[in-house]
Amino acid sequence: MSESLTLTSHLHKARPLNIINDPIFYAIAIPAVLVSAIGKGGFAGATSNIMVPVMALMVPVPQAAGIALILLCAMDISGVRAWWGKWDAREMRLLLPASMVGVALGAALFGVLGPRTVQGVLGVITLAFLAWRFLVGLLAAAPAAPFNALKGAICAIASGATSTLAHAGGPPMQIYLLPRKLPREVFTATNVVLFGLINYAKLVPYGAMGLLDLTNLGTALVLLPLCPLGVYLGIWLQSRMPEALFYRIITVALFLLGVKLTWDGFFA
């Protein structure tokens, strides 16, 4: 009987899911999640990194990253399932283990860098992402680069680290993969599955660092219905809205966010 009463007492003391209750947070987070999911749906891709810079306007960067990771993992389910087994096997054997080293490095940096420094680093990563987008056109005209294990490993480590810090691992990875000029389906599958596995691997250090606590989990669950909605919108918009216009809007927003975060982190 006493054991039953003790168990009941523990259950009553169990903490329920909590959520961020600031309406301004949701006013900016909801569009950011939708834009990220739209990119996952194939429209004006590479926009998933907008969630953390936007949420970081209202909450600390680590908390924004924790909420965003839960949402990214939900978005990755359909993509990984659709592209599973279609990747380049040699590239995956190189890039996946190296990116896991990067995930560990990024987790270590989280513990070393102060909150303002992490904010500044996020701003620099955001601006570097935009600079990389401008270089994509130059890379498209170059001949295919050969397989390079050293370059691939370095880029994958950098990608895993920046992905862990701010879910912005795309630029380092694409510095290696884009010049390889893999067939489109193979390139897409390699990227989608690789970053899906990276995101799920990040659950381990994020959980250990307390970034998947009840508040972040509860807040992510509130935003979760936006993920399939945004993916569907991404598919729907492909034939109904000029992709260049959408991407220009997102680029301007990311530039302003990058400048603000860099200023607040290093100069304010």
- For the chain, give every domain's residue range: 22-266
Mean pLDDT of 107-128: 85
* Cα-based distances in Å from 20 to 16, 125, 223: 13, 26, 11
Does the structure show a pLDDT above 50 at 13? no
The token pair at 268 is 């304010």
Between 27-41, 71-85, 107-121, 132-146, the lowest mean confidence (pLDDT) is in 132-146
Q: Tell me: the pLDDT tens digits for 54-83?
A: 998 999 989 999 999 999 999 888 788 888
User: Which residues have a Cβ under 8 Å from the Cβ of 72 and sit 6 or more positions away?
Assistant: 36, 48, 51, 167, 199
Per-residue pLDDT band for 154 (boundaries 50, 70, 90) equals very high
The token pair at 200 is 């799920």
Per-residue pLDDT band for 2 (boundaries 50, 70, 90) equals very low
Measured in degrees and rounded to the nearest 5, phi and psi for residue 11 equal: -65, -40
The per-residue pLDDT of the chain, averaged, comes to 84
Higher pLDDT, 25 or 76: 25
Does the structure show a pLDDT above 50 at 8? no
Measured in degrees and rounded to the nearest 5, phi and psi for residue 215 equal: -70, -45
Higher pLDDT, 255 or 249: 255
Higher pLDDT, 237 or 10: 237
* Cα-based distances in Å from 138 to 26, 44, 135, 182: 38, 19, 5, 16
Mean pLDDT of 244-267: 82
- Residue 95 confidence (pLDDT): 98
Mean pLDDT of 157-177: 88
Per-residue pLDDT band for 139 (boundaries 50, 70, 90) equals low
Does the structure show a pLDDT above 60 at 50? yes
Higher pLDDT, 147 or 49: 147
- Residue 206 confidence (pLDDT): 96
Q: Is the dihedral of CA 81, 86, 87, 93 positive or negative?
A: positive
Mean pLDDT of 23-48: 82
- Residue 148 confidence (pLDDT): 96
Higher pLDDT, 88 or 267: 88
